Amino acid sequence: FIFASSIIFILIAIMKKKIYDINILFALGAKNKLIYCVFLWYSLIYIIFGIIFGTSIGLLISSYFDKIIQNIEKFLNTKFLSSNIYFIDFIPIKVIYSDIFYIILLVFSLVIVCSSYSILKIIHKNSIKSILS
């Protein structure tokens, strides 16, 4: 959810910076559908790269989590989960790929819906301005 909201805010900021380009496209005679498709593809590129990099980094960290914690413990010269205090001295991690798939699907659909809404909002605002001008 945090990833999806950050992508949404990035896309909204990019679209606000692209209002000048949208107005030029309107002046050249582009229809709302063309502008919608261009910015939807633009957001799809962000979503796909974000999902690929985020999932790969998350899986990489989760597969080497014990070694990462051991290196941090060696560097700080302390033990996070001491066997004197806790009955386990490691953090159990199990990767369930179906859950990862559902999370990716949820994030993808959430970003598509929210970016579509923001694109339509900007297009509607700009079409009203171009009609009034």
Return the percentage of the chain with pLDDT > 90, whole number: 11
Q: Are 24 and 44 in the same domain?
A: no
Please choose, from the candidates 14, 1, 2, 19, the residue with its C-alpha nearest in 3D space to the C-alpha of residue 115.
14
CA distance linking residue 54 with residue 48, whole number of Å: 10
The pLDDT-based confidence of 132 (bands split at 50, 70, 90) is very low
Q: Are 11 and 52 in the same domain?
A: no
* Residue 11 near residue 49, CB atoms below 8 Å: no
Q: Would the pLDDT of 3 be above 70?
A: no
**Structure-token pair, residue 125:** 């605002």
Q: Are 36 and 21 in the same domain?
A: no
Position with higher pLDDT, 90 vs 47: 47
Q: How many domains does the chain have?
A: 2
Q: Which domain holds residue 51?
A: 31-132
Q: Are 4 and 39 in the same domain?
A: no
Q: Are 37 and 13 in the same domain?
A: no
Q: Average pLDDT over the chain, rounded to whole? A: 79
Q: Are 11 and 40 in the same domain?
A: no
CA distance linking residue 65 with residue 59, whole number of Å: 10
Q: Are 21 and 43 in the same domain?
A: no
Q: Are 71 and 116 in the same domain?
A: yes
Q: Would the pLDDT of 40 be above 80?
A: yes
Q: Are 40 and 12 in the same domain?
A: no
The pLDDT-based confidence of 70 (bands split at 50, 70, 90) is confident
Residue 18: per-residue pLDDT = 76
Using CA atoms of 48, 52, 57, 63 in order, give the dihedral in degrees to the nearest 10.
140
Q: Are 20 and 40 in the same domain?
A: no
SS (H, E, C) the chain: CHHHHHHHHHHHHHHHHCHHHHHHHHHCCCCHHHHHHHHHHHHHHHHHHHHHHHHHHHHHHHHCHHHHHHHHHHHHCCCCCCCCCCCCCCCCCCCCHHHHHHHHHHHHHHHHHHHHHHHHHHHHHHHHHHHHC
The pLDDT-based confidence of 1 (bands split at 50, 70, 90) is low
Q: Are 20 and 58 in the same domain?
A: no
Q: Would the pLDDT of 127 be above 60?
A: no
Q: Are 9 and 69 in the same domain?
A: no
